[in-house]
Every structure is written in structure tokens, then in C-alpha cells.
Amino acid sequence: MTAPAATALVTLTIEGVPVSVPKGTLLIEAAKQAGIVVPHYCYHPGLPVAGVCRMCLVEVEGAPKLHIACATAVAEGQVVKIFSEQALESRKSVLEFLLINHPLDCPICDQAGECELQDYVFQEGRANTRYSTYAKRFNPVEDFGGDVLYVPNRCILCTRCVRFMDHVADASVLNVSERGDRAFIGIHPDAELDHPWAGNVVDLCPVGSLLSKDSLHKARAWELDKGPSICTGCSQGCAITLETRANTVVRIKPRSSEVNKYFICDHGRFNYRWMNRGDRIEAPLVADGGDLHAVDWDTAMERAAGMLRGVKGPVVVLASPSTSNEALAAAKTLAGSGFIGAFRVPRVPGEVPLNGVPHLALREERAPNVRGATDLGYREAFDEAVQQAQGAACVIVLEDALDGVTLPTRTLYLGTSLPTGARNAQVVLPVANVAEEDGTFTNRDGRRQAYAQAKAAPGMARPASWVLAALAAGVAGARA
Amino acid sequence: MGFPHKPHPKETVVLSEHFGRAETRSLTGWKKVGGYQALTKARGMRPADLVELVKASGLRGRGGAGFPTGMKWSFMPKEKTKPHYLCCNADESEPGTFKDREIMRWTPHALIEGCAIAMHGIQADVCYIYIRGEFTDCLAIMETALTEAYADGLLGQGKGEMYIHRGAGAYICGEETALMNSIEGRRGNPRIKPPFPAAAGLFGLPTTINNVETLAATLHIVNRGAEWYQAMCLSNPKSVGTKLLSVCGNIAKPGNYEVALGFPLRDLLYDLAGGIPNGKTLKACIPGGSSVPILNRAESEGCILDYEGCVAAGTMLGSGGVIVLDDSADMVYQIMRLAKFYAHESCAQCTQCREGTAWTVKILEKILGGKGAMTDLDLLLNLADQMTGKTICVLSDSCAAPVVSGIKKFRGEFEAYITGKRQPALAFA
């Protein structure tokens, strides 16, 4: 079978490295194949090309002028020089131009440490400025509404934010106002930047011009530890990075993936404070004389194994659809032939799509693993299962939201906190939350996606999948 | 003719024949002098033949770039699958240029006729005439003429639609892709090319954009033939036909003059335009509108006014706006003033232009204020180098051109300010 024309390859040389890429590929993308990121500001793979920052000028052999790598398509036999003297000189000059009106307030700028202006000036910029005796342009900080502050003095007019709102969010509230060096990002006088996906403009901003009020002055970028994760805000399954400082999640950023391209919604972005909640169970508890007492893991596990060993009849598993596939599977195995699995989904009517990205929306089901639970045989029949639990041989609970639920005493509860409904349980095992464990969720389209631990679990808490697997081994008689 | 002056025998009067005669403004007046005969003739031709005729005439774009008009038309898709557009660039904003204004003011029907001919050639369904916002009289005259043309059945009813679009005061909207953005209701920012307008122009559809003077010339080519047009050539055979030249500044008789290409700049200045008044002498001349390099006296007096001749003299014919400076001119101030214009008009897209034009002005003002240093001249040249050939459009190149040529040719004047030989200009001290 011959390859279709659409996949025709073009071979070119970038900085001496031969590269073959599909016809129509932009030089800036082709350069990545050669392992080089061409310095750039306005270009973003998720936005229409603007070609305005002129930072990505590169030399194409035989061409009289430098070309912008973000708007030049590859051509057969092209020889591209990214670090030629001419290209370097040109980028050095762009950096100098960008800095003449840019305040050097990096010590108090939230972007410091993850600022592309800082990075490229460090990499390729001049050591001194020739713009010494003139005042810099000054405009006051503006509250754009929503979560976004605009610091016009730092703005380099890359227009990523404008293009995001125009072409991706499909809500044109930002523009470039004025001309020449007086230009700034303007907002419609009757509008606020409160679009449900507007927070992305902060991520897109290559400098510290658009800032999140939520994370304003909260942490220095270089102090943050970053863990790849999956958003728990809904069933879409957006890839995110959990950023922690001193074992506390302080910020969520989108991570690029097939599912969400480069973006996340504001609901997901701010869905992290619960990960840091202080009222966690830190030790295993067992019922003793109508009270729960803290014990060590071995004691608790032995007691839990005892509840399940030789059990006959239905074993009801009440699970949250935010539980990992691994924990759900282990609980099902543990329940054996009497398994009855159920969950309930928090729902908010009305999807909130990001118009410019197909199949991307904040979904009605506000839990990450509805599909995973369903695939494993759990049913969305929580109330019915609570009824069945009353006569069950054993009940395993993996759900913190137990408002209005009374559980029988034959209950094994695995949770992060201890709601009233769980106080009847025989054994309470402290488990990690999503930020504290490794696992997978299956999104609404059936993609099974891994998330990684971003911070340590409090006290003696352990991942639920680990606990359940160990318990299954203990029930079978082996030593855990 | 050299409106507002009597025609000079050395002029070749074609486009400006009726300048100053209000009667040719009306449709009846225009028809009385043979108006719309060319349109009838053109509409009787196959579009491809019309394009060939314009190609054969050697007509080149009169807006500044000098691109062969027939060739530009031939870039339009031969097989028409989508609506085609014609844009007439009447956003004449180049400092020192006021030729299109006179065409619209005195012979509005010549422009409408030229547009209609071009529409037939490129098979355009719609034509937009984009008129500079400040040209209030041109706008009124053109609108009256357009109403007359519609009422006479020359347009509409399947013969193509023509609209007048008024600019809102931005120089950059005279750049062809910015003009298209402006018509579409967007901010007047130049677009990246490719795609070129013939592939994806106005509203993303195949578009040809021509200058007023170019379009007005087509009707004469249709009437009198390509050979006649080719014959109007005084120097290089690649530059043929007549060109309107707007002369202004320190000159005895400022105004528009129409000459065959290849005409000596010296004769334009001293014969047609009456020379330098008040007993002064010529110091410098910018022959193609403010965007082209400045010529000193010797260069000016040797310059041949056609596309190749101007390049040989180290400048460009551009739009044909001839700015004359006499020996009392302060070149540092004049160059600062030009740079300030570009700094004000920069659309703010490209970094080099947005920041570079404003910085250039600041350095020049510093020099004028007596606070400059010799290193500032090197800095100006270095900035100019980085502002040339690096941006989407040529506005930043246009700012750099007079700075580079000014420092090269009048360095002494800059140094006089820097060394204190010359008193600082009070406004900048």
C-alpha cells in the first residue's frame, strides 16, 4: 500500500541535522525534530500564527532575508541555520527592543523563573542595554476581572491572549489598543475576563503581564515541585500538573495532551484546595467498645482481613467515581463473587465547552473516573446499594461523601476524612488522595490516563489500591 | 498639467488633462470628453485579452512598489470558482504625496472607469475603493460620481458592484493587507504573506489591489493601445507611461506634474516647478514619498525619474511624492520629524517597528537637544539595520531609510549638534 499524499515527507537540514517532516510543517515545529526550540514569543501551537514578535527569525540558506520560523513552511532540501551570526544578532536585537520598555522588576514578578523573556535574554540577550537615559513607558495595573490581572508595563504585545480569546474561547473581549509603542492589551469596556476558560491566558502569557490573582505572590516558580496528574474536576480527563510547595498544592497548570491540547477550564484550575485539607485521618482506626481507636497498620489490616475472610453473601462496595481504577479493581477482587459495586456522580447541568477545541468541555459529571468505574462493573445505583448494604455480609466504602447515609457495623471504610456516616465502621483505613498516590483514571472517551504522586500523604495514610491489594493477600492467607 | 499651475510644455499630460476643470467631474461632463468609451471597449474584450493588453503596455503599479500591473492581474485564478474582489487603494497617506487626491477630486469617473475595467480583467464581482479618511472632499466627489454611474446603469445589475469605504486615519491602512483587514472591520494590521491577495485576500477570497493612479491609467491604455503607452518612455524601456509627481517643500511652484517616465528630476525641480525660491539653493530631495532614502543635491540633480533611475541614484521612485529641502533645512530635525511620523503610525505588531521607531525618535530628539553622543549615530545605524527587512510590512524599513541616508549624507549636521558647534534646538533642549 502506498502512503497517501497527505503524509508526503519533506527532507531538510536544520543546524546540520537532517530532518524529515510532513509537507506543510512549519520550520519552528520541524526544528523540534532536530532537538531545537527556536526562541519565540507569539507562536503557540494551540493558536493561529501571528508572526509578530519576530523573535524566531532564522537563516534559510539562499534567501536574501531572515525568515520567521513560525510562519515558514519546510521545503525540500532547505538548509536552516538557527544559530548563525545573522540570526543571533537579529534575536539579540529583538530582545533589546523588548526590554527597553519592560520593567526589570523580576524580583517581585510572579513569572520570574518561568519567564520566557528572562530565559531568552539569559540565553541570547545583550549583557547591557543601550537604552539608558529615557523613561520607560508606564501604565497602571488593570484588573481584567475573573482571575486575571494585567500588568501592561511587562507586556510584550505577543497577542497570545487576544488570539486565545478570539479564536479558541470564541469570546472576543481582548484587543490590542493604541498604536506604536503606546500599544497595550485592551478589554471591552463592558466586559470582564470571566469566561470559564479565561484562566488559560495567564498560562499563555510568556511574561508576567497576565497574572492569576489566585496564585499572586504565593510562591516563586523555582520553589514549586511539579507532578503530572489528571484533573478530577469532571469526566473530561484533562492532563494537568500539580504544583506543590512545602507539601501543599498551590497551583494547577494544564499539561498538553490529546484530550485538552494545551488548556484547562477555570473550574479544574481552581479545584485543588481540598487536596490540602487539614482534617485528615492520619492513622488506622478500629472499633473497640463503641469507639474508634488508633492502631498500627498491622493490627488494622488483621482486623480488616478478619471481616472478609470466609465471608459469604453479598459484599457491597460503595465507591467514589474519583477512586483510581487500581483501587476499584482491587476492591472488586476483594469482594469476590458477592460483589455489588455502586457509585454516585455529582452532576452540574450544562456543559461548558471551549469552542475552538473540538470535544473539549467542562462536563456535567464532575468526577474523573465514571467511565472507569462503569467499565469495572460498578453501577450508578448508590441509594439502592446503601439499602443492600444493610443486609450485606460486608461493606467496603471508598467514598467520603456520605451525607445522610448510615452504614452497618460490618463496614470497612477507606477514606481521607471521617464523615459522620463512617463512624459505625469496624475498621477505618486512612488513604491518600489523588495528589498523594499513583494511579489511573479512565475518561469519558475510554482513555485510561495515569497520574503521579505530587506530594506526601499525611501521617500513616497509604494509597487505597495498595491497601486493598495487601488486604486481598492477607485474606487469602499470605503475609501482607 | 501642473495643477494648480498652467501645463508646462515638457509635461506629458494624460491623467491630469482635466485637472482644474470642474465640469469633467460629472458623468455628462466626463462622457463629453470621451469618458466610458474605454469601459465599453474593455467589456467587449475577453478578460484574458484585457490582461494581456495591460501586460503588453508595460504599466507598473503607481502606489510605490512598481510591480507590473498586468502580471498582478494574471495571478488571479483563471478558473473562477469563488467570488473575486478588486480593491482600489485610495488611502494616499504617504507624506509628500497628493496625486491620487487630485485624480479623485477632478476626474472621479476616470477612477470608476478604471476600476470597472480592472474588474472585467480580473473577473471581479465587487470592488472596494478605500479612500483615506481625511480626504473629505474626495469622498463626497467620489460618492456623487458613483451614484451617477449606478444611475446610468454602468454598474450593478450584473455588471459588478462598487463600494466606497472610508478609512479612519491610519497610515498603515494604505498597506494592502492592512487595507483588507480594515475593510473587513478588523484592526488595520498588515498580514503575513503568503498567502498573497490573489490567493486569499479580502474576506479570504482572490483579490487584486491597485493604486488609484494605476487604475486610472488603464482606461487610456484600453483607448489608445499598449504601443502608445509603451512609447511614453524617456529612459529605461522597463519604465513606461506617465507618472504624476507631487512636488512640495521648498519649491517655487508646488503641485502635481505629469511626465513620461525617465524624466530628469533636475528638470522637474528647476523647469516645471520653478526652482528653489527666496534665493536659496537645493540641499536635499526625497523623490518618492517620505519612505525612500534622501538624495543630496548632486544626486538629485543627476537622478532620472523612473524605477531603475531612482535605484541607480540610491533611492526609489516610490509613490512620486517629491519633497524638496533648501539649504536652510535642518536635516536632523527633518529626519526626526519623519521618524516621528512612523513611530506614531506603527501598527505595533512587530517588535522592531513598535519599539525601534519610537527609540529612533528619542535618540534624534536627544541629539537635537544637544545631549547626543557620537555613539548615538552608530546606535541609530545599528537600530536601522535591525529595523530593515525584519518585519511583516515595510513601515519600519521606511523609518530606517531616511535615518540611514541622512546620517550617511549629512553626518556633519548631526555632529554639529553633538559637539556643540550648533546650538541645541530649543524645543528639545
In contact, B38 and B48? CB cutoff 8 Å: no
pLDDT tens digits for B126-178? 999 999 999 999 999 999 999 999 999 999 999 999 999 999 999 999 999 99
Chain A: residue whose CA lies nearest to B193: A71
B272-285 mean pLDDT: 96
Candidates A86, A93, A133: best to mutate against B (most CBs of B within 10 A) is A93
Nine cell digits for residue B294: 534622501
pLDDT tens digits for B363-376? 999 999 999 999 99
The rounded radius of gyration (Å) of the Cα atoms in chain A is 27
Above 90 in pLDDT, residue A196? yes
Nearest of A161, A204, A203 to residue A186 by alpha carbon: A161
B277-288 mean pLDDT: 96
Q: Give the pairing of strands A285-288 and A291-294.
A: antiparallel
Determine the Cα angle at A468 with ends A464 and A471, to 5°. 140
In contact, B260 and B242? CB cutoff 8 Å: yes
Nine cell digits for residue B164: 466606497
Above 70 in pLDDT, residue A391? yes
Nine cell digits for residue B10: 515638457
Pick from A90, A134, A182: which is nearest to B390 by CB? A90
Chain B: residue whose CA lies nearest to A100: B355
pLDDT tens digits for A151-163? 999 999 999 999 9
Above 50 in pLDDT, residue B355? yes
In contact, A161 and A167? CB cutoff 8 Å: no
Given its phi and psi angles, is residue A159 left (phi above 0), alpha (psi -120 to 50 degrees) or beta? left
Pick from B348, B351, B383: which is nearest to A179 by CB? B348
Question: B46 and chain A: CB distance < 8 Å anywhere?
Answer: no
Q: Which residues of B touch A181 (CB under 8 A)?
A: 343, 346, 348, 354-355, 357-358
pLDDT tens digits for B24-63? 999 999 999 999 999 999 999 999 999 999 999 999 999 9
**Sheet arrangement for strand A239-245:** A225-230, A239-245, A248-254
Of the candidate ranges A264-278, A302-316, B328-342, the one whose mean pLDDT is the lowest:
A302-316
Chain B: residue whose CA lies nearest to A55: B351
How high does pLDDT run on average in chain A?
A: 95
Q: What local confidence, expressed as pLDDT, does residue A479 receive?
A: 42
Which residues, at least 6 apart from B43, have a Cβ–Cβ distance to it below 8 Å?
A: B120
Above 90 in pLDDT, residue A246? yes
Q: What local confidence, expressed as pLDDT, does residue A118 receive?
A: 97
The single-letter DSSP state of residue A69 is T
Q: Which residues of B touch A98 (CB under 8 A)?
A: 351, 355
Above 50 in pLDDT, residue A427? yes
Rounded CA separation A412/B41 (Å): 96
Pick from B350, B355, B379: which is nearest to A52 by CB? B350
pLDDT band (50, 70, 90) for residue A290: confident
Q: What is the DSSP string of B265-296?
A: HHHIIIIIS---STT--EEEEEBTBTTS--EE
Question: B354 and chain A: CB distance < 8 Å anywhere?
Answer: yes
pLDDT tens digits for A293-337? 999 999 999 999 999 998 889 999 999 999 999 999 999 999 999
Q: What local confidence, expressed as pLDDT, does residue B408 receive?
A: 96
What single letter denotes the amino acid at residue A236?
Answer: Q
Chain B: residue whose CA lies nearest to A102: B355
Give the three-class secondary structure for A80. Answer: strand
| Cis status of the peptide bond prior to A353, with omega within 30 of 0 | no
How many beta-carbon pairs below 8 A join chains A and B? 86
B255-264 mean pLDDT: 96
> What are the phi and psi torsion angles at A342 (to 5°)?
-145, 155
The single-letter DSSP state of residue A7 is G
> What are the phi and psi torsion angles at B397 (to 5°)?
-60, -40
Q: Give the pairing of strands A79-81 and A57-60.
A: antiparallel
Above 50 in pLDDT, residue A1? no
CA distance A182 to chain B (A): 8
Above 60 in pLDDT, residue A451? yes
Which residues, at least 6 apart from A245, have a Cβ–Cβ distance to it below 8 Å?
A: A218, A219, A223, A224, A225
Above 90 in pLDDT, residue A18? yes
Chain A: residue whose CA lies nearest to B388: A65
The single-letter DSSP state of residue B20 is T
pLDDT band (50, 70, 90) for residue A480: very low
Other CB atoms within 10 Å distance of the CB of residue A298: 11
Q: What local confidence, expressed as pLDDT, does residue A2 receive?
A: 53
Rounded CA separation B394/A143 (Å): 36
Question: B352 and chain A: CB distance < 8 Å anywhere?
Answer: yes
pLDDT band (50, 70, 90) for residue B2: low
Other CB atoms within 10 Å distance of the CB of residue B152: 12
Given its phi and psi angles, is residue A290 left (phi above 0), alpha (psi -120 to 50 degrees) or beta? left
- Please give the model's pTM, rounded to 2 decimal places: 0.94
Above 90 in pLDDT, residue A173? yes
Which residues, at least 6 apart from B39, have a Cβ–Cβ distance to it below 8 Å?
A: B113, B116, B117, B154, B219, B222
B224-242 mean pLDDT: 96
Question: B328 and chain A: CB distance < 8 Å anywhere?
Answer: no
Q: What share of chain B is helix, strand, coil (3-state, %, to 5)?
A: 45, 15, 40
